[in-house]
Each structure stands twice: as C-alpha cells, then as structure tokens.
Chain A
C-alpha cells in the first residue's frame, strides 16, 4: 500500500512535523523565551509596517496627496519609474535603453541554456555587446547621446554585463599565465591579480576618473564612462582569474598529457580539453561573482554616474517629489533582490542539471 495515500500514515507524518515544531518553539525554557520575544517583536513591528506599506499608502496622485497621508507614497514610484529605469537618457529615445534591457535579458537566457554552449556563443556575445553600446550611443540610428546621459537600470545592467564579458578573456589569460612555467609571465600575472585584489574598487574608480586624464595628453583621455568601464573590467578580471584558476586546477593533469600525446598543440589543449571542463566546474562560483559585480557596480555613483541606485536616490531629490527616499530605496532594493535571487536559483538549477547530465 502506498504510504502517501494511507490516511493513518499521513496523520502520523503531520503529527511528527507538528511535534518537531512544538519542541523547537517551546521545548526548553530558553526556546519558549525566544519564541515569546520574537512573537512580541513581530506584533510590535509587522502591523505598523503593513499599515505603512499598504493600508495607509498613497497609490496614485501628486506629492501633495502623499504629504497629507501617513503611509508610503507609491505614486512617487509611478511618477519616477521612467527616471529610475533610464535616468538622464533623453525621454523621446526611451526605446533604446528598453531594447538594450531586452537584448541583455535574451542574451543572458541564451547563455544560461546549456544547449547553446558552443563556440558561436562567443561570437554572439561580441556582436550583442557592440550592438548594445552602439545603440545607446546612437552610432547606428538617430541622434547621438553622450555617455554622461546614460543611466538607470539600463546602465547598471550594461556596465555589469559588459564588464563581465570583457573581463572573461583577460581573466582566462591571467589564469593561464599564473599557472604557466614562464617565470616573467607568472610574476606579472600574480602582480596584477594581487594588486587589484588588494585595493578597494572605489580606489580603482578614482584612479580611472581623476588620475588617468592627468597622465594622458590633453584630448586623448577617453570618455568618463569608458574609463569607469575599463576600471570595472580590470577589477572583475582579477577576481575572475582566480575563479578560473581554481577550475583549471580541478582538471586532472592526465587530460592535458593525453591530448599532448595525441599531438594537440597548447592552445588546442586549452580550448578544446581543459577550459570546457574547468569552466563547468566553477559555474556556481562564476554566478556568485556575477552577483557580486552587479552589486559592486553601484559604486560607480561615487564618480557621478547615474546607475540604478544613484538614480533612485536622485529621484527623491527633485523638489517636486522631495524626500521619498524610503520608497525609492525599497523599490530598487526589490529590483536588485529579484535579479540576484533569480541568478542564485539559476545556479542551483544548473548544478542539479549538470550533475544529472554527468551521471
């Protein structure tokens, strides 16, 4: 008889669960004390929070309607949604950042599907990244938009993804160099990785923003966003290199030696035998790093770039909608959370999927 449909067995199972809970909550005097304390805390905070979030909230209207109400001002998000997503980008060209976000999302979905893991994916990435950048700048169609006007969610996603993509080839070379037997190459790689990992990202951004233009002859300094992007890329590359190196170490020596015996050259061994196995081994770490980069990208605000977080902050600086910082931060907090949470769920799924494929 199947235990799942047996009413008695089901009852027993529920009973067990209930008893486990009961013990966890009230089993010992200390547990009871903690339970009472936590429940009291929830009673004290949750109702007022819910009132602020939903019951007393203002859903539509103007800043005046919000001021006369005690709850959250979600009308503010309605009025500022465009600004938070695209910031200073010219409103009549909103289709461009929208398209960029769409392109990025599809690119990430394609990249996330193991079926598409072929050489062509690399070409696709190069193509899409260049296309997105040109689209935002207006190189292909329509009026040009200077990078100082890019912003919001589109910018945050763009610099994170472009940073990660550009860092990848650099990181692979760094990781290979660090494992190579050529002393000079190895030392250089170690020097770069350890220097970059030894300084905070803000310092790198300040150098890119303030020192680089002084060191280059006048007029030769690249655009501020490009400098920040290069800084971010180098920063990511150092961390990525270490992740990839860990992957390289997980591939048994025998693999490369066997390939060598079959007459493969160094680059063929790396590209066809070692890297595919190495990268597969470190996928969870890669996703972890990607989440870190997305969150780290908020630091570009210190050099005056309007990323998602900075846009949210400035949305509440508009004298017409002054001071709705809490609503603004909650909203972008939700955006960041959903991005990071879906990334971590994906990583879990992928691990299970790959294990299934292997076995």
Chain B
C-alpha cells in the first residue's frame, strides 16, 4: 500500500511540475506584449469578476452592477473616457488566477486577497486595496460559543480555492483545538450546509458572512463571532509585465479615494472646477500640467467622479447603507475619519 501510494504521489508531482513548466514556458511568451497595448488595440478592458451580491452581480437587464464592477468602469473611464468600454466575465475562485495568468483577463476585480505567495510565486501585481475585509466565523448559536477559541471538535465549512482554507487551519493550530474542515465549492451550497446542520460553522470573509446570514431562514439562530481570523485586503490583481497598466490601476483607485478626502462628490464636482486650491485644480485637471506630464487625460479624475462618484458614494450605492446589502464602512473610510483609505498626493 505504502509504496503504491508513494509511486502515485511521485507520478502526480511529476505531472504537476511538468504542467507548470509548460504553462510558464508559454506564459512568458504571452506576457511579453504589454497589457495596455492589448487593451487599446481591442478597445475594451477585460475584467474578471466573481459572483457575490453587492460586489458583482448582473441586474435584471443583464448589466453588471456592484462595488468592484464600478472600479472596472472607473478604469474604462481612465483609459477610454467611456465607462462602458469594459467587458466583465465571471470566474470561480479556482479558475480566476490561472485565467489571469493565461491572459484571459487584463485585471481581476473579483475580491482577490493580496498575499506574498500570490505576488512572488504566481507573479501577480496588486493595486491598492479596495476593500478591507477579515475572515469571520458564522456559528450556530446552539453551540453556545462566544469566541472562536472556544470551538473544539467543530465541523467547519470553508469555500475551496480561497485563503480561508489556510487561515482556519492556522487558527486551530494556534488554539490547539481539533476541527473537521468541509470544503464546499458552490456558494449557495455553502449556506445550505449550515442550515441543514452538516457543518457547525462557516468561515469566510466577514462581509460575505454578514450578507449570507440575512439569507438564512432563521438568522437569529446564528451569530457572527466578533473576532477576525485574518486580514483580507481585497485588491485588484494584474499579471506582471506591464508597469504602466499597474500605475493606471493604482491611480484610478486613488482618484476615488482622494475625491472623498477632498469632499468632492458626483453632484458637487462642478463647483470645485473654480477652486482656488492648487491641489484640487491639479486633481480635477483644471490645471492640465499634471495630466500632460503623466500622459493621461488631465480630466480623468474629474470624469470618474462626475460619472461614478467618489469612493464613499460607490460604497454606499452598492454595498453600503444606500443598498439592500447595508454594510458598515468599518476600515473602509478615509484615514482622516479613522479608516485605512489613504491616497498618495496627486502632484
């Protein structure tokens, strides 16, 4: 038995290594051409998104809506000055990273957690964090648990292909308790597993759990434990090899954050056009010198705010208090209000 298993493992490892080697061989060829050239030639940006209510979901007319989707539109404004020159494609957590590597997408806005492995081993670049999340535990109240460290011998559902699988294992190694992981791929199945009692708890990004809890038949029977098992900075991911594309992603996100810090909104942006503040006139492009220097439309930040609003407005409209999802801002506020959003200066 043992040798049999060992041989299988060797075979599998060789096969896997071979596949990766082949993939890298070809991947290098693909990435030689900068992403931005491809985008301009094609006339649209290809964005990989996920499927999660509020973050990315098509509406009744088949138009993609959601928090991350709006940043895809913002990118289209920066590159083409047209929010519709962007194509969204949904991808599952298992498939999204290989698809980005293969050049299927120009950017992933599917709530990918920025990690060191993904940067070094998979060769991805990450833009600024768009959404600060943390892994939480949604627990059946009948367990009588108030803290994650009190869970012992519990069966816990995790979604496959996410960082959640590793985090929960780390967490239990730390507390020294035992647990049984149940890996579930489908996100609807995930919730059903908790309701049917197949698992005692679910672990996933807290924002996602908070939303899913409202979908349960008896939400009050379940509690989202207050502690966070991990840091989950969700950031746009792009394939390595195109620095200019990375900078466009960076400064598109920063533009929405900076606008909120300035207090510039979709409705009042035009009143700022006559602003005496040189920082604001540089930002909005009334003074075109900055845009000319960086080779972008000097009014790209103005266009983004005028079309989509600032970060706070996008948040409220899609996942915040102005939407059925109703999240608190939490860490996702400007640093001036105690959050973590901080844009480098536009100068």
Chain A residues at the B interface, C-beta cutoff of 8 Å: 63, 79-80, 82-83, 86-91, 146, 148-149, 151, 206, 209-211, 213-215, 217-219, 221, 224, 302-304, 306, 313-314, 317-323, 325
CB closest residue in chain B, given A152: B62
Residues of A within 8 A of B99 (CB): 209-210
Residues of A within 8 A of B89 (CB): 148, 224, 304
Q: Is the CB of B53 within 8 A of A88?
A: no
Residues of B within 8 A of A325 (CB): 188
Closest 7 CB pairs of A and B: A214-B26, A323-B215, A88-B62, A317-B57, A304-B90, A319-B324, A213-B102
- Give the CA-CA distance A306 to B62 in the complex, in Å: 10
Knowing A214-B27, A313-B188 are in contact, say whether A151-B62 is a contact too (CB < 8 A).
yes
Q: Is the CB of A218 within 8 A of B95?
A: no
- Give the CA-CA distance A215 to B318 in the complex, in Å: 39
Knowing A210-B98, A317-B53, A322-B53 are in contact, say whether A302-B92 is a contact too (CB < 8 A).
yes
Give the Cβ gap from A295 to chain B, nearest Cβ, in Å.
17
- Give the CA-CA distance A210 to B95 in the complex, in Å: 8
Q: A88-B64, A148-B89, A313-B51 are in contact. List 15 more A-B contacts (CB 8 A).
A: A82-B60, A82-B61, A82-B62, A146-B44, A209-B95, A210-B95, A213-B30, A213-B103, A214-B26, A214-B30, A218-B33, A218-B38, A319-B324, A319-B325, A322-B53
- Give the CA-CA distance A304 to B48 in the complex, in Å: 9
Knowing A209-B99, A214-B30, A224-B104 are in contact, say whether A318-B60 is a contact too (CB < 8 A).
yes
**B59 close to A (CB within 8 Å):** yes
Q: List 27 A-B contacts (CB under 8 A).
A: A63-B324, A79-B60, A87-B58, A87-B62, A88-B64, A146-B87, A209-B95, A209-B104, A210-B99, A213-B102, A214-B22, A214-B26, A214-B27, A214-B101, A218-B29, A218-B33, A304-B90, A306-B90, A313-B51, A318-B58, A319-B323, A320-B59, A320-B60, A322-B214, A322-B324, A323-B214, A325-B188
| Cβ contact of A314, chosen from B48, B58, B104, cutoff 8 A | B58
Residues of A within 8 A of B324 (CB): 63, 319-320, 322
- Give the CA-CA distance A146 to B26 in the complex, in Å: 26
- Give the CA-CA distance A149 to B46 in the complex, in Å: 12
Give the Cβ gap from B26 to chain A, nearest Cβ, in Å.
4
Q: Is the CB of B87 within 8 A of A314?
A: no
